[in-house]
C-alpha cells in the first residue's frame, strides 16, 4: 500500500509534472505527499567558490548573494506548492493522526546538499516521484535521480510529459535479478489495478532461462493477469528494442535499476542509463 509520497520541490517548471503524477497516486490510495525543498548552504558554497583565497569582505559578499538566491528559490518553490494545494483542494497535514480518506500534503525545507537530503527523506517514503530536470540543464536532477534510485531502497517514479493517470497497461522489463524482483514487488499496487500487464524480455542468449513464466504465475497468485513476451533484439540493441516495445503497448514501465560499485557503471546494455535520460513513458524503478 502506498501512503507516503516524496516529491522534490525545486521551484522549476518540472515540479508541475511531479506534483500531478504524485497527486494521481495519492488520490488512488488516499496517500500523503511530502514536498521537500533543499536550500543551498551559502557558507559551504562560498567557501568552495573562494578556494583561491578570496578575502573576508569578498567572501561575505558571496555569502550574502547566495543567501538572497536561496531565499528567492525557496519562496518560488513554496509559492508553487501553495498554488498546487489550493487548486487541488489538498489539506495541509503535519501528522498521520490528522489524515482522512482524502490525499494530503506537507511542506519541508532542509539546507545542504540536495541529493543527500532527497535520499534521506526517500528512505522513509513509500514512493518517490522525481523528474529528469530542465532539458539541457539537468545535471543536478540526474544526480538526484541516481541518489534516489541507489541509496533509498525505495521505488522511484519518473513521470512523462503527458498528463498523468493511473496506468491501465503496464510493461515489466524482466530480468532474473533482485533489482527487477523488487521493482515488481513495489509495483504490485499499480499492477493490481491495471487491465493489461506484459512481462517483456529480450532474447539475449539462446536457451537461457529468464523465469518469465514463473513471474507470470507469481502475478496470477496475486490476482494479476499477465502475459510473457520475448522480443528478438533489434539493430539498436536490447535496450532500445525493449523500450520501443514497452512504449508501444504500455502506459508505465516497471524495471530494476542496475548499478555497480561505481555509480555510472550500468548494466543491461545501458538500459537504466537510457531510461534515466529520456524514456518516452513513465517509469517505475527500484534498485
- Structural domains present in the chain: 4-158 (3.40.50.620), 169-286 (3.40.50.620)
160-215: pLDDT as tens digits:
877 778 999 999 999 888 999 999 999 999 999 999 999 999 876 555 667 899 99
Q: Helix 114-122 to helix 139-151 angle, to the nearest 10 degrees?
A: 30
pLDDT at 262 over 50: no
The pLDDT tens digits for 32-89 are 999 999 999 988 887 776 655 555 667 788 888 899 999 999 999 999 999 999 999 9
Is the per-residue pLDDT at 266 higher than 50? no
Q: Is residue 267 predicted with pLDDT exceeding 70?
A: no
pTM score: 0.90
Q: Which residues contact 22 (CB under 8 A, 6 or more apart)?
A: 5, 7, 33, 127, 129
pLDDT of residue 221: 97
Backbone angles phi, psi at 159, to 5 degrees: -75, 165
Read off the C-alpha cell for 101: 480518506
Per residue in 121-145, pLDDT (tens digit) is 999 999 999 998 776 666 778 888 8
Mean pLDDT of 240-254: 92
Amino acid at each position: 500500500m502506498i501512503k507516503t509520497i516524496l516529491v522534490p520541490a525545486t521551484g522549476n517548471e518540472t515540479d508541475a509534472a511531479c506534483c500531478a503524477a504524485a497527486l494521481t497516486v495519492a488520490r488512488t490510495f488516499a496517500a500523503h505527499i511530502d514536498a521537500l525543498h533543499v536550500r543551498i548552504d551559502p557558507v559551504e558554497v562560498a567557501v568552495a567558490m573562494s578556494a583561491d583565497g578570496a578575502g573576508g569582505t569578498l567572501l561575505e559578499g558571496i555569502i550574502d548573494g547566495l543567501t538572497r538566491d536561496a531565499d528567492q528559490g525557496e519562496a518560488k518553490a513554496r509559492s508553487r506548492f501553495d498554488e498546487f494545494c489550493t487548486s487541488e483542494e489538498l489539506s495541509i497535514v503535519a501528522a498521520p493522526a490528522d489524515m482522512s480518506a482524502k490525499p494530503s500534503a506537507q511542506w519541508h525545507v532542509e539546507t545542504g546538499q540536495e541529493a543527500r537530503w532527497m535520499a534521506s527523506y526517500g528512505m522513509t517514503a513509500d514512493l518517490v516521484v522525481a523528474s529528469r530536470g530542465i532539458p539541457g540543464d539537468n545535471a543536478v536532477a540526474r544526480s538526484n535521480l541516481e541518489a534516489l534510485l541507489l541509496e533509498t531502497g525505495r521505488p522511484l517514479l519518473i513521470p512523462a510529459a503527458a498528463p498523468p493517470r493511473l496506468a491501465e497497461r503496464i510493461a515489466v522489463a524482466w530480468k532474473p535479478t533482485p533489482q527487477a524482483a523488487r521493482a515488481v514487488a513495489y509495483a504490485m499496487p499499480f499492477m493490481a489495478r491495471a487491465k493489461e500487464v506484459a512481462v517483456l524480455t529480450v532474447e539475449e542468449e539462446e536457451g537461457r532461462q529468464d523465469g518469465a513464466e514463473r513471474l507470470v504465475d507469481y502475478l496470477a497468485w496475486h490476482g494479476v493477469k499477465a502475459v510473457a513476451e520475448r522480443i528478438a533484439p533489434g539493430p539498436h540493441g536490447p535496450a532500445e528494442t525493449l523500450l520501443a516495445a514497452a512504449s508501444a503497448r504500455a502506459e508505465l514501465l516497471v524495471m530494476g535499476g542496475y548499478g555497480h560499485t561505481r555509480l555510472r557503471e550500468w548494466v543491461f546494455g545501458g538500459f537504466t542509463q537510457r531510461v534515466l535520460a529520456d524514456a518516452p513513458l513513465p517509469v517505475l524503478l527500484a534498485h
